[in-house]
A = this chain, B = another copy of it.
């Protein structure tokens, strides 16, 4: 395994007998998941996805990515929420948060349709000027407002630039297998389509075509990503907490939640992981934040945020616990140069590798935060690689499902996401929402 849970720094916060007491709940959650008897059991397609994914479609994804790389300098990926965060997280983690700035043989990738901002949309349009463009639109229904508006805009752009025939070769649609207006329209228009599976929710969909097509277009080895996920799916099957790091993490967060720790901070030391933390926030926030319950998921990237939220974590309101991701081998090594003038007094570090300083900062920070009363769990990741990231993705998905069942929520629905949409449609005058509109307008008209 590329990842290992280090619970050494929890010893003053959780006693061994507490793990014993919660173990039966974890076993029950495991049983609900494996026997598909729990809430949301229509959405368990991600569980054995790394072994049972559609090989034929996978090969089409790889071929399509190759075609995109050959055809265009810009790939516009249109999607929101789970149809956006996973792909972006993986590309930034494995390539770079500055992916678009770096010289490379793969296209620039811009994510559109994830806001309602005119400035954001027009800026992506300007970045496409004079470039050859492909589009991957990702939407199960095809009717979600943000991506639908963006698809209108970029479909127009491609049809004006390349004609309907030419655009057909540049538009790739990831949507429902059979139903929905987008699927129907794509079939009629002759677009190549990929599948958002029925039994995999958005936030669990990064290892389906939803995430894999943009990820492959960026030149990432998606087979290794799947192999890592498969390794994790085989490793985390025991219901013995001492033999299953994944379930142990699920147990820890519930134990701490029951002690009043209501915010979990996912802490990392690598800027390339920032979007991965955002993916994690959706996964846990949307899965567990319901029925008035749940741990609020927050994120920091140290050491920059040690000089920002570090003070609060060390010494503020004691509602926090931290989960630290410690990635050992990254892509590059760098030795700190000597300075004859030693103006910063850091010559005791001369010749030392920056990675060693990072590791030491991590250990020093964990001890300091533990002393400050913040429970710390460390997830040790051996390297920055496709395989390790595949493992990590599956680790968090599985832990999330088990943790949600232990919390006794349905980890696979998101009923609250509809509330703002209904209000928005009513206020926008969508047919069918007339009575609701009048009521809302009254509340706004103060």
Contacts and interface: CB of A to CB of B under 8 A. Distances in A.
Interface of A: 8, 80-82, 84-85, 96, 98, 100-102, 114-123, 126-127, 142-143, 145-146, 148-149, 151-153, 156, 181-182, 184-185, 202-203, 262-263, 269-272, 278, 281-282, 285-286, 288-298, 301-304, 306-320, 330-334, 336-337, 339, 341, 343-346, 348-349, 352-355, 357-358, 360-361, 363-365, 367-369, 371-372, 384, 414-417, 419-431, 440, 443-444, 446
A202 B306 CA distance: 13
B181 A330 contact: no
Contacts of A360: 424, 427-428
B308 A295 contact: no
A357 B290 CA distance: 27
- Say what secondary structure dominates the interface of chain A: helix
Given A102-B126, A148-B344, A286-B309, 7 more contacts: A115-B270, A116-B358, A117-B354, A145-B346, A152-B336, A298-B298, A363-B444
Most buried by B among A80, A278, A419, A440: A419
B270 A294 contact: no
A316 B343 contact: no
Contact of A119 (B116, B331, B416): B331
A120 B271 contact: yes
Question: What is the oligomeric copy number?
Answer: 2
A96 B123 contact: yes
Contact of A420 (B126, B314, B339, B353): B314
Most buried by B among A115, A301, A422: A115
B269 A368 contact: no
Nearest to A146: B303
B307 A81 contact: yes
19 contacts: A8-B446, A80-B307, A96-B119, A117-B269, A120-B271, A145-B346, A149-B336, A149-B357, A281-B308, A282-B308, A289-B312, A294-B312, A314-B420, A348-B429, A357-B428, A360-B427, A363-B423, A363-B440, A364-B421
A353 B118 contact: yes
A241 to B, nearest CB: 18
Contact of A344 (B142, B281, B333): B142
Contact of A343 (B114, B142, B320, B339): B142
Nearest to A357: B116
Nearest to A284: B312
Contact of A115 (B271, B319, B446): B271
A360 B429 CA distance: 10
Contact of A417 (B203, B290, B307, B420): B307
Nearest to A419: B368
Contact of A82 (B127, B307, B384): B307
Nearest to A415: B315
Nearest to A180: B343
A346 B114 contact: no
A371 B384 CA distance: 43
Contact of A316 (B288, B330, B353): B288
Contacts of A311: 285-286, 289-290, 414-417
Contacts of A8: 446
B152 A337 contact: yes
Contacts of A149: 336, 346, 349, 354, 357
A296 B317 contact: yes
Nearest to A139: B344
A424 B286 CA distance: 36
B424 A345 contact: no
B416 A314 contact: yes
Nearest to A431: B348
- Top 7 nearest A-B pairs (CB, nearest first) are A289-B312, A289-B316, A81-B307, A364-B423, A314-B416, A148-B344, A282-B308
Contacts of A143: 344-346
